[in-house]
Amino acid sequence: MNGEGGPGAEPELVRERRGAVSVVRINRPEARNALNRAVFVGLAEAITEAEADPEVRAIVLTGTGERTFCAGLDLRDFAEQGSPGADTADAMEVFLRLQNGEVTVPMVGAANGAAVAGGMEMLLGCDVVVASPGCRFGLPEVTRGLFPGGSGTTIGTRIPLAVALELILTGELIDAARAYELGLVNRVVAPDEVLPTAVALAERIAANGPLAVAAAKELVRLWATDPAAAPGRREHWQKVVFDSEDAREGARAFVEKRPPVWKGR
């Protein structure tokens, strides 16, 4: 898989195929799985390839170890090299789509440790999130003289505004129980069950009609973030999905009492 380093070095981003699911793992445990240029590029490659492969119907995003899912931007890398530049412009564009929930393949986050700053923003971009009880979540950028520059400031569309403002303005972290209570995560399971549970959810999503899933994913997010644009996109997807071969196959499979065979068209 992808990543940088010398001969024998561990790759900084690892990919694994599990049927229709692509498992993508940030592999920098010594740096709390922080985001550097190699990870940005690796994530972009993994997402771009998944979006281009009709056999990949869901992505699971996780991190190595049980201490940290992702600590956000690698501040050491940032201090030495500044913001990612023109050499990573394409990768950053894909990363921003990830943070904004705009990746066309459904994404399941497997938070096996703390998810803060950019790590938290990646989870906001995931469609479903599984976490372990010891996880902590937050957007502490203001404590470093920054602010959530990705999707963090959209958190008020997901949770009560007063809570969103408290989290961002104080920079304080919340635990997994509070995140579940607020609806930021979907499941809280034992640490050794985080990845299996996330993969099982991804497989369940992947078993459904891909056109229908794509339509539902886009529209649910659009109604929450840009309701004025949602009716037009709904009309578009109604024509695409309800006139598709998959829609007819779904009906036939129901009548014939068999699993559907999706073609994605």
Which residues have a catalytic role annotated? 121, 141
Instruction: Assign 3-class secondary structure to 125-143.
Output: HCCEEEECCCCEEECCHHH
> Whose structure tokens read 């502490």?
140
CA distance 153 to 231: 25
> Whose structure tokens read 């996880």?
135
Distances (CA, A) of 116 to 21, 120, 232: 25, 5, 35
Helix, strand, coil % in the chain, rounded to nearest 5: 50, 15, 35
Beta strands in 10-156 (DSSP E): 13-18, 21-26, 58-63, 68-70, 107-111, 114-116, 128-131, 136-138
Are 84 and 102 in contact, with CB atoms under 8 Å apart?
Answer: no
Q: Are strands 68-70 and 21-26 parallel, antiparallel or unpaired?
A: unpaired
CA atoms within 13 A on the CB side of 39: 26
Tokens representing 11 are 């790759």
In sequence order, what DSSP letters do the residues of 161-218 get, joined into one string?
HHHHHHHHHH---EEHHHHHHHTS-SEE--GGGHHHHHHHHHHHHHTS-HHHHHHHHH
